[in-house]
Amino acid sequence: MTDRPVESRDEIELIEILRVVWKWKYLILAGTLVFALVAGVISSNTPKVYRINMVLKPSVVRIDRFGRRIYLDSAVNMKALLEAEIFSNEIITYLKTLNVKNRPGQVKFRIDAPKQSSFLKISYETQYVDTGIQILNHIPVLLQKEYAEEIDHFEKEYNDEIQKKIDERADIENKKSIRQSGIIISEKRLRELTLAIQNIENDNRRLVEEKVSYNKHSNKNSVDINLLYSSAIQQNLQLMNEYKMQFSDLLSRKEIAKLELKRIEERIRFVSTEIADLKKKNSNIKYIEVLQPPTSSQGPIKPKTRVAVLMAFVVGLFVTVFSSFFLEYLLRYRTRKHN
């Protein structure tokens, strides 16, 4: 029984509120529409702002013995550098040299450097897209100047390594030249030994034929002549055996020299590859890599007319409803006062 009066009062208050709203409905509607219209007009006349994005990546200056990439600097450090706005005056001066009319008074970037990544996204908001693109295009140049000392340091390290490798290759090529000369000399000596062995074989064949012919046609069996022939043939055989041993030893050394020459040539190719790789790395550290060139948003990011009109509509509705109740209160107060 005690709850009914409370519910009745609530119903009466709700009906009273609805009655007031209905009474001032035209004021509420007109006021809300005026707020939305004004917001729409202001938003339409506000200069349009575009966002220009660019993605940069510090170059890899070295790969350590564990295969990890060592960058010119971290993306986080570059982010702090750009957010400090130390390049603002330089950028404005650069735009002056280009006779850009729509120069900003201050250049401020929005930088995003995702964790555990090596790149950073640079965003710049401006009314003038062409000017914004020129500004972002100049960022890698400014960063290049900022890291000039570090680049020179790494360049010197690479140049020193390259020179060491060049000297090493020159020393190996000198060894190659010596081995090639040794092989040429060995081949010449092998030809000489081959010819000498052939001559000895021919000479022995001739001596045997002469001995046989002498014994066949001579009436006397001369022991001294036969002994002389046999001695000459034996000496030739001993000399031929010595030449063959020299030939075999020299041929073996020649094959070893060829294998060494092959290893030397492989080493030269390997060192040459190292030199080319070092030169490539040395050229890479001279640049801040641009993963995505400056690109403008498809449409303006500001002002957001729809959002502004919607917000104005809500605010206008709130203000006009409040005003309606205030006006209703004033009217009732005057009525009671007159009565």
Q: Residue 61 and residue 155: Cα distance in Å, rounded? A: 9
Asked whether residue 118 falls in the same domain as residue 164, the answer is no
Q: Please check whether residues 208 and 311 belong to one and the same domain.
A: no
pLDDT of residue 339 exceeding 70, the answer is no
- Model confidence band, residue 12 (pLDDT cutoffs 50, 70, 90): low
Q: Kindly give, in sequence order, each residue whose CB lies less than 8 Å from that of residue 323, ignoring residues fewer than 6 positions away.
A: 27, 31
User: Are 308 and 318 within one domain?
Assistant: yes
- What is the tens place of the pLDDT at every residue in 223-276? 677 788 788 889 988 998 999 999 999 999 999 999 999 999 999 999 999 999
User: How far lies 288's CA from each of 12, 93, 206, in Å?
Assistant: 73, 22, 84
Note whether 135 and 177 are same-domain residues: no
Residue 27's pLDDT is 82
Read off the CATH number of the domain in which 235 is found: 1.10.287
Q: Do 268 and 186 share a structural domain? A: yes
> Of the given ranges (143-152, 210-219, 247-256, 264-273), which has the lowest mean pLDDT?
210-219
CA–CA dist 225, 202 (Å, integer):
20
Sheet holding 120-126, edge to edge: 110-112, 120-126, 50-57, 289-296
d(CA 237, CA 215): 22
Residues 103 and 134 in one domain: yes
Q: Give the mean model confidence (pLDDT) for residues 64-71.
A: 66
Same domain, 148 and 291: yes
Task: Note if the pTM is more than 0.85.
Answer: no
Lowest mean pLDDT among 65-69, 96-100, 168-172, 211-215: 65-69
The arithmetic mean of pLDDT across residues 17-32, rounded, is 82
Per the structure, the complete domain to which residue 331 belongs is given by 3-46+303-338
pLDDT value at position 189? 92
Q: Are residues 223 and 144 in the same domain?
A: no
Supply the DSSP string of 244-277, one letter for each residue: HHHHHHHHHHHHHHHHHHHHHHHHHHHHHHHHHH
Q: What is the number of domains present in the chain?
A: 3
Tokens, residue 215: 């014994």
Q: How far is CA 197 from CA 18, 206, 207, 238, 327, in A?
A: 131, 14, 15, 11, 135
The CATH code of the domain that includes 94 is 3.30.70
22 and 122 inside one domain: no
**Contact at 8 Å (CB) between 123 and 53?**
yes
Residues 98, 166 share a domain:
no
Residues 163 and 119 in one domain: no
Residues 148 and 176 in one domain: no
Task: Answer yes or no: is pLDDT of 315 > 70.
Answer: yes
